[in-house]
Amino acid sequence: MRAKHAQAKKSRKRAEMDGGPMIERTLVLLKPDAVQRGLMGEIISRFEKVGLKIIGAKLVWIDREQSKKHYNAHVGKKFYKVLEDYIVQGPVLALVLEGVQAVENVRKMAGPTEPLKAAPGTIRGDFAHISMAHADTTNKSIANLIHASGTVDEAQKEIALWFKDNELHSYKTAHEEHVF
Ligand code: CDP
Ligand code: MG
């Protein structure tokens, strides 16, 4: 517990160097199912409404090599093959969001990995309902609409993998006066 706390403190310290106290950046991917189901606007709108700032955005159709880089921690796991098939099946919308403890906030809004467990109000809970058990019977990945970085360290690595520095923008939002 203490180690976890120290790690969080260290991560926070690093994040503070980027954009001021507790301002973090996080990588979001709206996965091929979100794009193909026409849910991009609906999901982006949720981030805008809570006052998170979109500082990078692009539609990218990744290949298997990029999938292995992004999901490096999962390569070799039982579900990796179906995950790769899922993520390369069409373009994804890659976003970088910035805000107060953005990593934790965006994970909260996404909800847990398994839509069955994701509460109404979360992105995965509102737009999907499938379970791990069901996915196992179909030999498909869990189509859960969104990827969001899990930690500040992960976010920094993932943002560097998906975006060049000149694709990230610094500007003021109207929200900022009220939210930050
Ligand atoms: O995306 P998240 O961080 O919530 O979950 P993860 O454990 O990092 O897994 C990455 C992605 O792999 C998930 O979002 C699912 O789309 C997929 N996955 C799967 O299809 N079956 C599993 N048993 C675990 C993950
Ligand atoms: Mg993950």
Binned at pLDDT 50, 70 and 90, residue 2 comes out as very low
Task: Quote the pLDDT of residue 5.
Answer: 56
For residues 134, 139, 142, 147, the Cα torsion angle rounded to the nearest 10 degrees is 170
At 110 the pLDDT is 99
152: pLDDT strictly greater than 90: yes
Catalytic annotation, pick one of 129, 147, 169, 175 = 147
Taking the C-alpha atoms of residue 96 and residue 26, their distance in angstroms, rounded to an integer, is 6
Q: Is the pLDDT of residue 17 over 60?
A: no
Distance of CA 8 to the CA centre of its chain: 19
Look at residue 64 and tell me whether its pLDDT is greater than 90. Answer: yes
* Ligand nearest the Cα atom of residue 85: 1
Q: pLDDT class for 3, splitting at 50, 70, 90? A: low
Q: Which of 142, 146, 151 to mutate to test the pocket of ligand 1 (most atoms within 8 A of CB)?
A: 142
pTM: 0.90
Annotation says 147 is catalytic: yes
Question: How far does Cα 106 stand from its chain's mean position?
Answer: 7
pLDDT band at 15 (very low <50, low <70, confident <90, very high): very low
Supply the CATH number for residue 113's domain: 3.30.70.141
Domain residues for the domain of 94 are 2-179
Taking CA atoms only, the protein residue closest to ligand 1 atom 23 is 79
pLDDT in tens, 77-134: 999 999 999 999 999 999 999 999 999 999 999 999 999 999 999 999 999 999 999 9
- Chain position carrying tokens 């839509």: 115
Q: Which candidate, 27, 178, 13, places its Cα nearest to that of 98?
A: 27
Question: If pLDDT is split at 50, 70 and 90, which confidence band does 13 have?
Answer: very low
Ligand 1, residues at Cβ distance < 6 Å:
74, 79, 82-83, 113, 132, 135, 141-142, 144, 147, 150
Test site for ligand 1: of 75, 78, 83, 123, most ligand atoms within 8 A of the Cβ: 83
For the chain, what is the domain count? 1
Mean pLDDT computed over 162-173 = 96
pLDDT for 36-57, tens place per residue? 999 999 999 999 999 999 999 9
For residue 63, the model assigns a pLDDT of 98
